[in-house]
Structure formats: C-alpha cells, structure tokens
Amino acid sequence: MSVAFNAATAANVAMLQQTNALFQVSQKRVSTGKAIFGAADDATRYRMSDTMKNRAKSLDSVNNNISLALKTLATTDKTLSSMISIVNSAQELARKAQAEGAASTRSAQTTANILSTTNVAGTVANMQYNFSITSDSGQNFTYTWNSGATNQSVSWGTIADALNSANIGVQMTFEPSTTAGQTQIKFTSTNGKDFRFDGKSTETVMDDLLGLSTGTGATTTLTGANAAAYFANVAATAPTLAANETGFTVSYGGSVAGTVAVTGATAIATGSSLVFQDGNGQAQAYANTTNATNITAMITEFNNLFQTKGVVMELANTAGVAGATMLRIRNSNGGDMKLLAGVGAFTSTASGGTVGWANVPTTSYSAPLSTNNSLRLQYGAQFDALINNLNLLVVNNPVQNGRNLLAGQNLGVVMDEFAGNTVVVTGQNIQGLVSANTPLGLTSPGTAWTTDAAIQLSAASTNTALTIIRDLQAKLATFNSYMSDRFDINKSYGSDMQVLSDDLVAADVAEESAKLTALQTQQQFAVQAFSAGTQNAQGLLRLLG
C-alpha cells in the first residue's frame, strides 16, 4: 500500500534526509579530525597528503637502517677499545721483560722439544735405567727404574718432580722454547755450585737431552754420539759403566785438562807438587804424599784439601782422546783456573809432566754464566696469548646486520628517502695473529724474547698496531658522527612531513562542531515541521471520515 504525502510533508522529509547526511559528514570529521578521506573529496590535497605520508614512511625505514649501522659502529668501537686495552697490556709485558733483563745462572738447557708428559725414549723391556746428578756441594740424586716385561717408561715430569723434591742444589724446569709451541728442559744450579750428570746415568736416558752445554771455555755440547761416550750402557741388572764414561759436567769456571790419556792407575811420582790459585783467588800449594802414588789416590787427597776452597780435581772424558780419560782441574766457584808452577808430574808435557798439561804456568779463563731468559719467555708467552686474543675479538665482533668491519667487510648505508645518498663504510682487516702477514704488524712473537733486540721489535710492533687501531677507530667515529646527524635530520623531516600530511586533510574541528550544533537545531525544526504536517493531515482525514 502506498502512502501519499502532500508537498509540505515531502519537503520536510527531504530536509530531514539532507540534514542527516550533513550531520554524518560533520560527525565523521569531528571524530577523525580529517576533512578529506579520499581523492573524491579533494584530489589535489589528498594526493599531496599521501605523498608526504609516504615520504615520512620512507624516512622512517631509512632511519631503521641508519640505526642498525650506528649500532654496528658502536659495537665495533667497543671492540676496538678492547683491542687497544689488550695491546696496551702487551706493551706493558714487553716493558717488564726489558726491565727484567736476562738473569745469569749456572744452567744448561736442551735444544730438544720435551714436555713434562714426554716419556723417556728408547727404552726396551726388562732393563734397568738410571738418571743421576751430583752437585759440587756433594749431594746426589739418582732416579732408577726397571722397564719390566711391559717396557714401562717414565715421564720427564716425574723425574723433574723427584729431582726438585730432593733439593740437592739443582732444579729441573720446563721452559718455553724459542720455537713456538715447544718446550725445553733446563737444569739450573740453585746453590751457586757446578753439577755433573754422572756417568752411571744410562746412555739411552741421556740421549734425550740433546743440546746440554758444559758451559766452560772449551764448550762441549751433548749429542747423541757423545752420549754413548759419557754414560753407561743399558743392562738388565744395572747399567754397565766403562772406566772412560765419566759423565757430563756443567761448569762455568776455568778448567785445565790434560791432552794425554791417563787412568786412575797411572803412576804419579812422589813429591810432585803444584802451585795454583784456588776458587777464592788465594795461592795454594799441593804436594802428593808417599801414599798418593797414582792418580786415584792423588785425586782423593787433593779434593779433601781443596774442594771446599773452590777447586776440584777429577778424571774426565773430555772427548779430546776418543775412549780415554784425562786429568782435569777446575775452578768450581766460577772464576779463572790458574796453574802457577809445577814440579814432577805437574810440569808441562814438554818438560816430562805425566798428567798431560800442555803448559805450566797457564790460565784457563771462566766462561760467561748461562743467560736465563725464563722470566722473559714467560712474559713472552703471555704476550702471544694477548695478541692471539685480538683475533678472537675480531672474529667475534658483534654486528647487527652481518657486516664485520674488522674483518675487511664494507657497510653501505642509504641516508635519504631517494636512495641517492649512499655512504659506504670501508672495513679493514685487522686480525692480530702473530704471523708473517698480520695486518697489525705484530710479527715479533714473545717466543723470541731471549734478546733485548727481539723484545724491542715486539714493543715497536705494538706501537704500530696501536696506530692502526686508533686510526680506524677515528675513521669510524667520523662516520658515526655524520650518520647520527643524518638520523636526527631524517627524524625531523619525517615528523614534519607527517604533520604536513595531516594538515592537508585535517578538518576544522571547531567549525565542524558548530555545524553539528546548527544541524542538530535544524534537525529539530525539521522534525517539528514534519510532525505538525502529519497532524494536519490526520485531522483532515478524520473530518472526511
């Protein structure tokens, strides 16, 4: 059924519809704060607003990348600061090593690489082995073991522990070698006395200790060949010691040895006498008694008188005559050995002396004490550990976007929303391993710290490394400053563009609120008019009804 309206009612309805539409528009503008919602509302202003908004989003994305780059630079700077601290510590070790100097000791060190866990080599089953040392103080240490059916050997560390516990005046240590990663055995006098590897030590034990030096003016080095001449052969019950196997003496005092072979049974003419200077620099005289008619008896008598005064007489295999022993007299206090005059057996060989001394009077000069670089090499080992740690810092440098500037990788950063301003941060490979081509120039390892020159090279290399690290740190700091400024500018630009975008489509809330009030009033009037018109129509219908 259709409803008929008169003209007035229809006008009131149209006015209500129009008012409601305007009311909804104003209400939407007030609630959103926007006057333009699409291109249909205002194509020009909407397009400009959308452009500004997109540029603001692009700048925000650019700033995200700049932020990652800044974090990479910040963490890299921290790593570089840690590297500087490590190199400074390495420099301090070099200064300590230089100030420490090389201590002078009575010592002998192997050239062979021997660890404390290294077993004595060359053993066979069911044999007895000896390792024996006697100090000039008279104290002896002997380590003996039987290999048994299973060919049981012992480690050099076990022997060292036993010797050091015996406290005979000789200490056995494992020192860093000048060859990286290797360790050598050092024997050092702790009581200021010479010491001897006794002849009863087994040849197959002693031939491990290659490179030991006698230290005397006529320096002899222990080799595999002469170990057989100095030390006893291995045997099932006890090492068999030949008369000429007299051991190996580490002595830094002067010594005079014969040039002809003699034995303990060699006769010495009664009344033979010798004037010499003892280990304290005092002139002494010795004349053999009627009981000291051979070399064995004479050595016993002489040492009873003068060993406490720093002079020792002994039979020794000096390798001067193959397979033979010679008479030797030495200054055990480390000074020169001076023979002032001789009679009988103690005259020079040319004058008929039977002990084989070429010249009397004569002087044999002392040798410089062994240079002990153990503390320097300990500092050097710490130096190498620190330098090698630099490489770990480089490899583990924490980076946010996978670009490690310290490993030579580069970092490209777009600085604006047009991608037309790309900054490339060039990395630098500064791995710090001690090697021939290390980028930091740290090519002088602490394992070479046996001379002042070697330590100075290491110290100079740390100066070079510090210069490289600090230069790189300064360069990255410049990039950091520039990127930080650009980040702030982009952030400001983005904020401004967002504001402009909002302003272009913004509604005047005050105006729209006033419109709402007016529309509400208009709406009320329209409703009243519509109601009045409806009532008139209803009254007319009742009259006609």
Query: Looking at the structure, do residues 306 and 394 belong to the same domain, yes or no?
Result: no
pLDDT value of position 324: 85
Query: Looking at the structure, do residues 335 and 411 belong to the same domain, yes or no?
Result: no
- The secondary structure of 216-237 as a DSSP string is SSS--B--HHHHHHHSBBPBSS
Residue 156 is assigned to a structural domain of this protein = yes
pLDDT value of position 508: 57
Residue 43 is assigned to a structural domain of this protein = no
CB 364 within 8 A of CB 256: yes
Chain centroid to Cα 201, Å, comes to: 40
Residues sharing a CB contact under 8 Å with residue 502, sequence separation 6 or more, in sequence order: 33, 34, 49
pLDDT value of position 436: 44
Residue 52 is assigned to a structural domain of this protein = no
Task: Among 345, 365, 385, identify where a domain stops.
Answer: 365
Residue 39 is assigned to a structural domain of this protein = no
Query: Looking at the structure, do residues 382 and 471 belong to the same domain, yes or no?
Result: yes
Residue 294 is assigned to a structural domain of this protein = yes
Query: Looking at the structure, do residues 212 and 125 belong to the same domain, yes or no?
Result: yes
pLDDT value of position 1: 45
pLDDT value of position 271: 87
Cα torsion 495, 497, 498, 500: sign: positive
Residues sharing a CB contact under 8 Å with residue 333, sequence separation 6 or more, in sequence order: 253, 279, 280, 310
Query: Looking at the structure, do residues 229 and 259 belong to the same domain, yes or no?
Result: no
Query: Looking at the structure, do residues 142 and 209 belong to the same domain, yes or no?
Result: yes
Query: Looking at the structure, do residues 208 and 304 belong to the same domain, yes or no?
Result: no
Query: Looking at the structure, do residues 169 and 123 belong to the same domain, yes or no?
Result: yes
Residue 42 is assigned to a structural domain of this protein = no
CB 194 within 8 A of CB 249: yes
The pair of structure tokens assigned to 2 is 């259709």
Query: Looking at the structure, do residues 358 and 446 belong to the same domain, yes or no?
Result: no
pLDDT value of position 149: 93
Strand-pair partners of 68: none
Rounded CA-CA distance 377/382 in Å is 9
Rounded CA-CA distance 337/91 in Å is 44
Query: Looking at the structure, do residues 122 and 244 belong to the same domain, yes or no?
Result: yes
Percent above pLDDT 90 for the chain: 32
pLDDT value of position 306: 95
Q: Give the chain's domain count.
A: 4
Query: Looking at the structure, do residues 413 and 473 belong to the same domain, yes or no?
Result: yes
Query: Looking at the structure, do residues 378 and 470 belong to the same domain, yes or no?
Result: yes
The pair of structure tokens assigned to 216 is 């005397």
Residue 157 is assigned to a structural domain of this protein = yes
CB atoms under 10 Å from CB of 183, counted, come to 20
Q: Contacts from 506-515 at CB under 8 Å and sequence distance 24+?
A: 506/33, 506/34, 506/35, 507/29, 507/30, 507/32, 507/33, 507/34, 507/35, 508/35, 509/29, 509/30, 509/33, 512/26, 512/29, 512/30, 512/35, 513/26, 513/30, 515/22, 515/26
Identify the segments of the chain with pLDDT beneath 50. Answer: 1, 4, 434-437
Task: Among 365, 398, 430, identify where a domain stops.
Answer: 365
Start-to-end C-alpha separation, the chain: 19
The pair of structure tokens assigned to 379 is 């500092």
Identify the domain containing residue 135 by its residue range. Answer: 103-251
Residue 84 is assigned to a structural domain of this protein = yes
Task: Among 365, 387, 415, identify where a domain stops.
Answer: 365
Rounded CA-CA distance 272/401 in Å is 92
CATH code of the domain in which 63 resides: 1.20.1330.10
What is the DSSP-derived secondary structure letter of residue 307? Answer: G
